[in-house]
Amino acid sequence: MNHFDYGPDGRMACEGVPLAAIAEAVGTPVYVYSTATLVRHYTVFRDAFGARRPLIAYAVKANPNLSVIRTLARLGAGADTVSEGEIRRALAAGVPAERIVFSGVGKTARELAFALDVGVSEINVESEPELETLARIAADKGVRATIAIRVNPDIGAGGHAKISTGKADSKFGVSMSEAERLYANAANSASLDPVGIACHIGSQITDLSPMEQAFRAMRALVERLRAEGLAVQRLDLGGGLGVPYFDQPDPPSPAAFAAMVGRVVDGLDIALAFEPGRVLVANAGVLLSRVIHVHERPAEAGGEGRRFLVLDAAMNDLIRPAMYDAFHDIRPLVRPSAGTSELAYDVVGPVCETGDTFTRNRRLPELGSGDLVAFMSAGAYGSAMASEYNSRLLVPEVLVDGADFAVVRPRPTYEDMLARERLAAWL
């Protein structure tokens, strides 16, 4: 459920704002986010757990825009962060430090020190060398670092090999047996306070069974640790819940997910945490783009003809199709009238590589130069992964709330882009 739809006038709006008005005011390409959708997704996720009241640590990497984080923080969300930059963003957006979790396989000494200084709620430690480094840094500071051990349960899941994180051959976390050993070591360290265990097995997961399997293994680990006399107060079950990208059956709802979790942790007295990213923000955002032109290559001997829809958005603005073969629905901003014929398009951007192809042979109503389209479900890992490749300006972002909209990250100017660099003194 989202708040991007065609109005009675046949024009697509985000809540009360016609998307074409944003395209006119801000230019294209531009990301547009819906406050109502963010609020709805957060409350549906939160309410699914009822009285359990887990920490919902929004995975900032999915969409690090400060206004997006603040919208969620105001509802009570915490933040799952993976770099000093993300911790700084979460704090700047108003997430209290005691709701910030710091994850990641390669935290630097500087980042660990920073996390201790600001007092994050928990550092999810992913390896033995990291545990040793953190123990040393905390000892130097004369503090005890609150930690969880990130476990790799050897159960992978997710929408693409590149985003599956839970198998033993992936770089994330430690094995079950290593986790037991490290937890006991940490409990004996004067500068570490192990409070729980964490896992995250992948992203865009559309089947609850691998998650359930992993969560059962986590429960068993909690019970083993407790049997050894170790205190385990927290269980962080990560993110990963998938969203409908329109080309696949609907993924499990937050309610079904929460019911499964409830069954797994039944009777276990423990504080739960989750790190949802995509499920909160994906369908709360679209990428608006304008058709530059349609380029038709006629069929020649031995070859098929092609029809390229050349957009002003490119792989640098939305890399998911190029990187994960991801599907994004593409809709014209003006609803096609009944009976409009459809044509097959290869939808491409202006970047100079063939990988800059959003989709091939997509059937769309006939479109022409100047028409506007929206890439749906682009609120997660869209703008977050954008770059300036081909010296294209970083794509701006707009947040809608009811009938209002605000540019929450303006498009830089070419002067801004060039001013970030320095010519070497000898040139």
Which of 275, 371, 397, 401 touches ligand LLP by CB under 6 A? 275
Q: Which of the residues 353 through 412 are near ligand LLP (CB under 6 A)? A: 380-381
The answer to whether 151 and 238 have CB atoms below 8 angstroms apart is no
- Residue 272 backbone phi and psi in degrees, to 5: -95, 150
Binding window for ligand LLP (CB under 6 A); candidates: 87-95, 131-139, 196-204, 406-414: 196-204
The answer to whether 87 and 81 have CB atoms below 8 angstroms apart is yes
Which of 2, 152, 204, 359 touches ligand LLP by CB under 6 A? 204
Measured from the CB of residue 101, what is the shortest distance to ligand LLP in angstroms? 9
Retrieve residue 421's tokens.
């660099």
84 binds ligand LLP, rule: CB under 6 A = no
Retrieve residue 285's tokens.
């955002």
324 binds ligand LLP, rule: CB under 6 A = yes
Measured between alpha carbons, how far is 104 from 118 in angstroms, rounded to an integer? 17
Retrieve residue 413's tokens.
């100017």
Measured between alpha carbons, how far is 356 from 344 in angstroms, rounded to an integer? 17
Which of 278, 290, 331, 392 touches ligand LLP by CB under 6 A? 278
Measured between alpha carbons, how far is 56 from 216 in angstroms, rounded to an integer? 20
203 binds ligand LLP, rule: CB under 6 A = yes
The position carrying tokens 């019911």 is: 259
163 binds ligand LLP, rule: CB under 6 A = yes
80 binds ligand LLP, rule: CB under 6 A = yes
Measured between alpha carbons, how far is 40 from 269 in angstroms, rounded to an integer? 29
Distances 284 to 225, 234, 358, 402 between C-alpha atoms, Å: 40, 30, 20, 13
- Residue 33 backbone phi and psi in degrees, to 5: -115, 145
Measured from the CB of residue 68, what is the shortest distance to ligand LLP in angstroms? 13
DSSP structure string for 94-142: T--GGGEEE--S---HHHHHHHHHHT-SEEEE-SHHHHHHHHHHHHHHT
Measured between alpha carbons, how far is 14 from 22 in angstroms, rounded to an integer? 10
Q: Which of the following is catalytic: 92, 352, 418, 419?
A: 352
- Residue 102 backbone phi and psi in degrees, to 5: -115, 110
Q: Which is nearer to ligand LLP, 241 or 265 (CB)?
A: 241
Measured from the CB of residue 326, what is the shortest distance to ligand LLP in angstroms? 6
Which of 320, 328, 331, 392 touches ligand LLP by CB under 6 A? 320
Which of 48, 56, 62, 287 touches ligand LLP by CB under 6 A? 62
Q: Let me know if 352 is a catalytic residue.
A: yes
Q: Which is nearer to ligand LLP, 34 or 203 (CB)?
A: 203
Binding window for ligand LLP (CB under 6 A); candidates: 13-21, 188-196, 226-234, 277-285: 277-285
Active site residues: 352
* Contact residues for ligand LLP, defined by CB under 6 A: 59, 62, 80, 103, 163, 165, 200, 203-204, 238-241, 275-279, 320, 324, 380-381
